[in-house]
Amino acid sequence: MNIDLRDKVVVVTGSSKGIGKELIKAFAKEGSQIVINYFQSEEAANQLYNQIIKHNKKCIRIKADVTNQADVDHLCSETISTFGRIDVLVNNAGICDDNLIQLMPEEQWRRVIDVNLTGTFLCCRAFSKIMIRQGFGSIINISSLKGQGGCEGQTNYSASKAGLIGFTKSLAKELGMYNISVNALCPGFIVTDLNRHNDEKRKIAMEKSLMSIDNSLHDLLNFILFLSSDRLLGVSGQVFNIDSRCK
């Protein structure tokens, strides 16, 4: 089945590292026009950009803090001035900063909520204006299974990801009349810079998996590519668990 993504304009927030980096590489291989967004990891963003343009010249990098309105507006305006439209927005930027609630300062709570939830709100508000004028678009929010089941020591992270689920369902109802889909994905355990050295979490994830293989990253990338294509134009307001773990 052909899921032609050639020349689709795709913005992936927080895409200099981790899942975002792999998403950018996957869209680049499909011939999409892509925007690498970064904030603090400029060197990593430059390395990714230099890697991508060797086989896909339709790529730009934009520094923007997704928690800052002016930066988000810059991200949006630069995308449109370069490519003329936006087809797919993947809200991937996210952080975790774990602590027990009795030991968690307010700033530790707010920072995670700001990046993971408020950042998605600001990006959706800015880019959906363009999508409404276009009369089409796809928004994909990267949530987490922690937003459904919670996790001790991660009240801030779990709350932010649970908020994304409610946000996704509500925004889908607002934007559906403009042929804009909004969906959320909850990946299984995927090794990233946030959890690379947490062998215990990886062990627990594999013990609960119904499958003997770990294909979480490739499954997530393939699902996002398919969801970004014109093969699923009528799917919106859904939360997809890309995982095989049993609770």
For this structure, is 38 an active site residue?
no
Inform me whether the pLDDT recorded for 31 exceeds 50.
yes
Sign of CA dihedral 75, 79, 80, 86: negative
Query: What SS3 class is residue 239?
Result: strand
pTM over 0.85: yes
The reported pLDDT for the residue numbered 137 is 98
Cβ–Cβ < 8 Å for 140, 223: no
Distances (CA, A) of 52 to 60, 83, 222: 10, 17, 19
Cα 123 from Cα 103, distance rounded (Å) = 31
CB neighbours of residue 196 within 10 Å: 10
pLDDT, averaged across the chain: 91
pLDDT band at residue 228 under the 50/70/90 scheme: very high
* Helix and strand totals (H; E) in the chain: 9, 7
| Helix axes of 106-113 and 155-175: crossing angle, nearest 10 degrees | 30
Which of 38, 49, 157, 178 is catalytic? The answer is 157
Inform me whether the pLDDT recorded for 123 exceeds 90.
yes
Q: Which helix (H) or strand (E) holds 61?
A: strand 59-63
pLDDT band at residue 164 under the 50/70/90 scheme: very high
Within 13 Å, how many C-alpha atoms sit on residue 235's CB side?
16
The reported pLDDT for the residue numbered 112 is 98
CB neighbours of residue 100 within 10 Å: 10
The reported pLDDT for the residue numbered 212 is 46
User: In this structure, which amino acid lies at residue 89?
Assistant: L
Least confident of 18-22, 147-151, 171-175, 207-211: 207-211
pLDDT band at residue 81 under the 50/70/90 scheme: very high
- Domains of the chain, by residue range, sit at 9-242
Query: What SS3 class is residue 95?
Result: coil
pLDDT in tens, 142-158: 999 999 998 999 999 99
Give 62's contacts (C-beta < 8 A, 6+ positions apart): 35, 36, 37, 38, 74, 75, 78, 79
Inform me whether the pLDDT recorded for 9 exceeds 50.
yes
**CATH number for domain 9-242, candidates 3.60.60.10, 3.40.50.720, 3.40.50.10540, 3.20.20.100:** 3.40.50.720
Average pLDDT over residues 131-135: 97
Q: DSSP labels for 184-215?
A: EEEE-----TTTTT-HHHHHHHHHHBSSSS--
Q: Between these two residues, 202 and 104, which has the higher pLDDT value?
A: 104
pLDDT in tens, 168-203: 999 999 999 999 999 999 998 886 655 555 565 555
Q: Between these two residues, 143 and 205, which has the higher pLDDT value?
A: 143
Inform me whether the pLDDT recorded for 61 exceeds 50.
yes
Distances (CA, A) of 162 to 92, 157, 168, 188: 15, 9, 10, 15
Cβ–Cβ < 8 Å for 48, 14: no
Each residue of 63-95: b (16+ CB within 10 Å) or e?
bbbbbeeebbebbbebbeeebeebbbbbbbbbe
User: In this structure, which amino acid lies at residue 42?
Assistant: E
Inform me whether the pLDDT recorded for 246 exceeds 90.
no
Length of the chain: 247
